[in-house]
Amino acid sequence: MSNSLGKLFTITSFGESHGRVVGIVVDGCPAGLAITEEDIQRELDRRKPGEELVTTARKEADRAEVLSGVFEGRTTGAPICMVVWNRDVDSSDYQRTRFLVRPGHADYTAYIKYGGFNDFRGGGRFSGRITAGFVMAGAIAGKILNIIGVEVMAHTVAVGDIAARPAEVDQIRRKAGLNRLHCADSEAAGEMMKAIERARQQGDSLGGIIEGIAIGLPAGLGEPTFDTLDGELARALFAIPAVKGVEFGSGFQAAKKRGSQNNDPFTIEDGGIVTTSNNAGGVLGGISSGMPLVVRVAVKPTASIASSQQTVDIKEMKGASLEVAGRHYACIVPRAVVVVESMMAITLCDLVLRAGLLPRVIK
C-alpha cells in the first residue's frame, strides 16, 4: 500500500469503513495558518449525503477531531492528524457475504493483493468513507490556497444521460450549492434527482461527470516532466473510488478538433497575458497558464446495487448470486463533488509550495 500523497504538502490516509476510525495526517502545512475544528467540520458536512439519495441511510454524524499540529488556533508546522470515529456500524451483513466478491467493487482485487487478510467490512480501505479524510485535508489545503487568492470549486455536470447546461464560474459559485446535486443548472438538477430516484426504485444506480475548476491560479504551477499539473491532479483524482476518467479543458473532444480550433490564441488583457479561449483547461506543457484550471472526472455508477448479481464465492471457488445488502447510494456523484474539490486543493497546495510561491510561515 502507499497511502501518502504529495511531496511538500503530504497527506497520509488511514482507517477503514468499519474499523475504529477514518483519518488523515497532513504534513508540510505552513506554520501560522488559523484553523479550527469548525473549519474542518464545515467541509466535512458538505460531504454528507442527502437522505433522499440514499436507499439505506447510515447516520454519519461525523465529528472532525484534530489530534495534533494545531496549537492556540494556528498550525504549528507539525503534522496535523485528524480523525472521525466510526459509529453506527453494523458489519453482520458483510460477514455473511464475506467471500462473495461484489461486482464493480475492490473485493476481489483486494482479496488477491492482501491474501484475504484485508478488512472487507463495508469495503474496508476501499470504501468511499475514507474520503472523509481527504475532505478534512482538503479543508486545510483550501484555506492555504485562499491566502494566495486561489479558489477551488466543483460541480456536477452530468448524471446518467442528463447533462447540465454550460455554466460560467460565477453561476457555479452562486448556484451549485443550492441543490443536493451540487449542479449549477437547477433545472437539470431536478431532472437528475428524478433519474436517481427512478434508478433507486429499480434497484439500480447512476454515474455522472463532475467538473472541477480552480480560479486565480498563478501561471507556473506544475513540475514537468513527470510531476505535471495535469498528471499530479489525475493521480490524485483517481484515488477517489469510482473515478474512471480524467480530462482537462477540451479533453477527449480535443481529439476531434483541428489545431486551428483547439489552440488558444494569446492576447493581452489588463496588462497581463491571457488566452481568448481555454481549450487547454489552464494547463500547457504540464504547467498552469493562469487561465482557469478545468478538469472533468467520470464517475461510474455506484457498484452496490440492490438487484441480484452474478459472482463467485472466492473461498469455495464456485459461482454464486449476490444481493448486496447494506446502504446504497443510488448515485454517489453529488457526494463526490466535495471530494473532487478536496483532491484538487491538496494537489494544488503541494504544487504551490513546490513552486516556491508560499512562505513556510504564514503571518
Q: Which of 50, 190, 207, 292 binds a second copy (CB under 8 A)?
A: 207
User: Measured in whole angstroms, how far is the alpha carbon of residue 32 from the centre of its chain?
Assistant: 27
Which range of residues in 36-44, 47-55, 170-178, 296-304 is near a second copy by CB under 8 A? 296-304
Contact status: 92 vs a second copy (CB under 8 A):
no
Residue 46 within binding range of a second copy, rule CB under 8 A: no
- Which residue among 166, 244, 315, 323 contacts a second copy (CB under 8 A)? 244
Smallest distance, a second copy to C-beta of residue 7, A:
7
Q: How far is CA 84 from CA 26, 181, 341, in A?
A: 15, 24, 19
Residue with Cβ nearer a second copy (32 or 190): 32
249 touching a second copy, by CB under 8 A: yes
**Using CB under 8 A, which of 46, 58, 103, 169 touches a second copy?**
103
Question: Do the Cβ atoms of 360 and 77 come closer than 8 Å?
Answer: yes
- CA–chain centroid gap for 164, Å, is 20
Backbone angles phi, psi at 53, to 5 degrees: -90, -5
Q: Which positions from 110 through 139 interact with a second copy, judged by CB under 8 A? A: 110, 112-115, 117-119, 124-126, 130
User: Using the rule CB under 8 A, is 148 a contact of a second copy?
Assistant: no
Per the document, the length of the chain is 363
Tell the residue number behind the cell numbers 457498484, with chain if given: 303
| CA pair distance 43, 108, nearest whole angstrom | 32
Near a second copy by CB under 8 A: residue from 148, 169, 254, 325: 254
> Which residues, 161 to 180, sit near a second copy by CB under 8 A?
161
- Looking at the DSSP bridge assignments, the partners of residue 82 are 24, 66
Q: How far is the CB of 97 from a second copy (least distance, A)?
A: 13
Which lies closer to a second copy via its Cβ, residue 31 or residue 173?
31
**Three cell numbers written together for 95:** 460477514
Member of 53, 199, 345, 352 binding a second copy (CB under 8 A): 199
173/220 with CB nearer a second copy: 220
Whole-angstrom distance, CA of residue 275 vs CA of residue 118: 49
Cβ distance to a second copy smaller for residue 152 or 158: 158
Q: Is 99 in the site for a second copy (CB under 8 A)?
A: no
Decide if 296 contacts 210 (C-beta within 8 A): yes
Strands 70-71 and 151-159: unpaired
Instruction: Output 184 or 328, the one with its CB closest to a second copy.
Output: 328
The nearer residue to a second copy, 173 or 355, going by C-beta atoms, is 355
**DSSP helix/strand/coil, 268:** strand
Q: How far is the CB of 66 from a second copy (least distance, A)?
A: 8
Question: CA 246 to CA 46: how far, in whole Å?
Answer: 23
57 or 252, CB closer to a second copy? 252
345 Cβ contact partners less than 8 Å away, ≥ 6 residues apart: 138, 141, 142, 145, 152
The single residue among 38, 88, 168, 259 that binds a second copy, judged by CB under 8 A, is: 259
- Please give the Cα distance from 199 to 202 (Å, whole number): 5
Q: How far is the CB of 58 from a second copy (least distance, A)?
A: 19
